[in-house]
Structure 1
Amino acid sequence: MESHLFPIRIALLTFPVVAFLLTIPFLIYQYTKYHYVNKIRVLVTYSFLLYCITAYYLVILPLPDTRDVLGLYPAGKQMYQIIPFSFIRDIINETNVIISKPSTYLYLFREAAFLQAIFNVLLLTPLGIYLRYYFRKSFKKTILIGFLVSLFFELTQITGLYGIYNAPYRLFDVDDLILNTIGCFVGFVAAPIVTFFLPSYNRLDRNVDLDNMNVGFIRRFLALSIDWAIIVIFIDTNDFIQYVSSVFIYFIVIEYLTNGKTIGKLLTSIRVRGKGYRITFKELLIRYGILYYGLGLLNKLFINISEQYFVSQFIIFGLVFTIDTLVFISVLASIIKKEPFFYEKISKTKNIIDYKSSKSN
């Protein structure tokens, strides 16, 4: 039991790190394909990720203490088992079950050979469920994928974790291929029962009104982060001229030509819209003039004035702190009330979900 609990504990510790690293690619994929993030889809996807990590760790952990695994083996040690259904013989030889006496069947749950066979079946049972419900795979494809995943596990073992160890530290067993594949089949058959309380996958997006759905702040922040990451790669944002020109070209000119889209907005399926369907140059100039030329340059200008005219640093700090505090309070209030930000109200612009243009493409 401990040999199985240890990999599960490690998987639970690893999962948050892997999930965090995959969050941005996952969000971008959801926004570009579905134009929004469905909570059920998030739950199923991350549970599938946790399952994959756990299954893999159950196959490879615990690791040997030394890379010289071969030196630990006696001469002639068998490293593979290629006779199908040998597990049945092992169960019969090890158990005290009497076929004619059902009361002895409980003895099976005390036998290592039987429990190992059950474990190998259960290992890929969840995979069969995910393949049918979430990935919408047919029976044949599910069985094939289950077999290939099991083969991957066995090759991982027989290669000594891809050559890290000089010999396999676990037995390559053809019965594992059979039992794992059976487990995937069981999962496929049981999927409708297990997912009974979940909505049908085909109906997840049925009642979604993208026209009236607000663009969330996480989505906006992701788009903004992508855009500024691109800008920072090519320019020095501390240089006044480069900063002003890059903001003008990237956020005003390009968005005007693309009707409110940047690379970040494109990857998150949103765009900026004004009073009409097509954004105007004036609306963009007001929006980003306030946001990047007003607030973005304010701190730099104050510092430059202080250095050139020897104005008291305390006064400059007080002015900057007061303005930044007011902006922070305004933004926080907008987030709480779910209202447009102050620069959006002034420019009469807003972010909307851009799904119609992607459909037309």
Structure 2
Amino acid sequence: MDMLSSYLEPARAGFLTFIGVGALILVPLVALHYWRFGRVEPRRAFVLYGLLAYGLVALALIFLPFPDPGAVCRGETMLSTRPFQWVTDMRNNMAANGRSGLQAMATSQAFVQQAFNVALFVPLGIVLRRAYRRGPLAAVAIGLGVSLAVEVVQYTGNLGIFPCPYRIADVDDLISNTAGSLVGWMVAPVALVVPAVPAAEDSAALPGAVGVPRRVAGLAVDLLAVVLVAKFLLPPDLVWSLAFTAVLRVVLPAVTGGWTPGGWLMRYRLRRADGSWGNPLRLAGRELLGVTGLFAYAVFLSPRWDTWWQFGLDVLVIAVVLVGTFVVPVFRRDQLGWHDWIAGTRPVAVLRSPARGPEDRASVGV
């Protein structure tokens, strides 16, 4: 039990560190993925976050807790170069305690320590094969390299940060860690929770897909137009503002081939899924399921409901609309939200040709 608790506390510290570090790098990670691929590939993000969690927990188990320097810095040799010394230590421990048999061996401290060292590197072998399709030689080489780096850091007192080495740099750790990486490679086919990371060309957004930042900018321009018109030209009533929003986001693109003011500035227009002219019914359905529908809900429905569950419903409606409109497209190759997918519409990027005028970019199927 004491040995188990000595592992649990560092693992807990490593996991809590992952929560903090993971939250800190979430936005930069999303931005990096979006800049590189035009989308956030879910499997890549899952594997990357999994590796981050595994790495931090493993490092915590290897290096924590930091002991009192006065208790460990006594000039002792912190290097073991004899392979399989743990077998001798296990036998000596069993003999000293008058124990024998498989149960005594399996519960001895030396055996448990080596089993832990093997298990610590099993996830690395699994990820190398399942996620990155590496072979057994690569798993062995990478496992050996990572383990060697850890032993060097331990032998140098965490690269001189600690006043002396407080963990033994052991060749048996190299052997067991490397074996663990190979074991992980061997059992990887049954580790179905780890996805295969797709190639870069399969991770990127489809050519011509209009990204979320571009559409958000276009929507902001449209909403700014609504605000200005409502302030200076319309009666002070939200119903008139909603009506003008419908004109701007449904009627105008229906008669102009998909253009709104924001879409014109951001160089995209709204079309049907096959790239043809979108009819008013489809465009209206798209808007009712998106931001305009949320606006209508806030104006007509939410004020009329005075019940105990109204707040929860309001939060649910807002979450569904925002997630479906702005979050779901981030992960899709076609960059379509729920409102586009259900209405059968999509934003189409447009290039301006000097000789022939605006032309649609290559069609993107759903």
TM-score (norm. length: structure 1): 0.56
Give the aligned partner of residue 180 of structure 1.
Answer: 177
Give the aligned partner of residue 24 of structure 1.
Answer: 27
- CA offsets 1:76-101 (integer angstroms, 9 cap, x no match): 522111111111211222236xxxx9
Letter in 1 for 2:164: A
Q: 1:220 to 1:285 in 2, by over 3 A?
A: closer
Query: C-alpha separation between the residues in 2 aligned to 1:213 and 1:350?
Result: 7
Give the aligned partner of residue 289 of structure 2.
Answer: none
> 1:258-337 residue pairs with structure 2 within 5 A?
283-284=264-265, 335=322
**Residues 123 and 180 of structure 1 are in contact (CA less than 8 Å); yes or no, is this contact kept in structure 2?**
yes
**Residues 211 and 353 of structure 1 are in contact (CA less than 8 Å); yes or no, is this contact kept in structure 2?**
no
Query: C-alpha separation between the residues in 2 aligned to 1:76 and 1:281?
Result: 71
How far did 1:179 drift?
0.7
> In the alignment, which of 187, 191, 196 is matched to residue 188 of structure 2?
191
- 2:147 is the counterpart of 1:144: no
Q: 1:40 to 1:112 in 2, by over 3 A?
A: same
Letter in 1 for 2:65: P
Give the aligned partner of residue 5 of structure 2.
Answer: 2
Query: C-alpha separation between the residues in 2 aligned to 1:338 and 1:177?
Result: 50
- 2:41 is the counterpart of 1:48: no
**Residues 95 and 107 of structure 1 are in contact (CA less than 8 Å); yes or no, is this contact kept in structure 2?**
yes
**Which SS does the other structure have where 1:3 is aligned?**
helix
**Residues 43 and 196 of structure 2 are in contact (CA less than 8 Å); yes or no, is this contact kept in structure 1?**
no
Give the aligned partner of residue 157 of structure 2.
Answer: 160
How far did 1:219 drift?
9.5
**Residues 210 and 353 of structure 1 are in contact (CA less than 8 Å); yes or no, is this contact kept in structure 2?**
no
Letter in 2 for 1:135: Y
Q: 1:106 to 1:337 in 2, by over 3 A?
A: closer
- CA offsets 1:156-200 (integer angstroms, 9 cap, x no match): 2111122122110111111101110110111111111222x6665
Query: C-alpha separation between the residues in 2 aligned to 1:32 and 1:3?
Result: 42
**CA RMSD across the alignment:** 4.8
- CA offsets 1:7-59 (integer angstroms, 9 cap, x no match): 11111211122112222332234334443334333333212211010001111
Give the aligned partner of residue 250 of structure 2.
Answer: none
Query: C-alpha separation between the residues in 2 aligned to 1:282 and 1:106?
Result: 72
Query: C-alpha separation between the residues in 1 aligned to 2:204 and 2:73?
Result: 64
Query: C-alpha separation between the residues in 1 aligned to 2:140 and 2:183?
Result: 10
- 2:17 is the counterpart of 1:14: yes
Structure 2: runs of 5+ lacking an equivalent: 221-255, 269-294, 300-316, 327-335, 337-345, 352-360
How many residue pairs match? The answer is 251
Letter in 2 for 1:144: A
Structure 1: runs of 5+ lacking an equivalent: 225-274, 288-325, 341-348
Give the aligned partner of residue 291 of structure 2.
Answer: none
- 2:83 is the counterpart of 1:84: yes
TM-score (norm. length: structure 2): 0.55
- CA offsets 1:195-239 (integer angstroms, 9 cap, x no match): 2x6665459997998479785579959xx9xxxxxxxxxxxxxxx
**Which SS does the other structure have where 1:163 is aligned?**
coil
Letter in 2 for 1:126: P
Query: C-alpha separation between the residues in 2 aligned to 1:109 and 1:353?
Result: 68
Taking only the aligned residue pairs, the percentage that are identical comes to 31
> In the alignment, which of 126, 131, 134 is matched to residue 123 of structure 2?
126
**Residues 81 and 171 of structure 1 are in contact (CA less than 8 Å); yes or no, is this contact kept in structure 2?**
yes
How far did 1:277 drift?
11
- CA offsets 1:308-334 (integer angstroms, 9 cap, x no match): xxxxxxxxxxxxxxxxxx799699696
**Which SS does the other structure have where 1:162 is aligned?**
coil
**Residues 14 and 57 of structure 2 are in contact (CA less than 8 Å); yes or no, is this contact kept in structure 1?**
yes
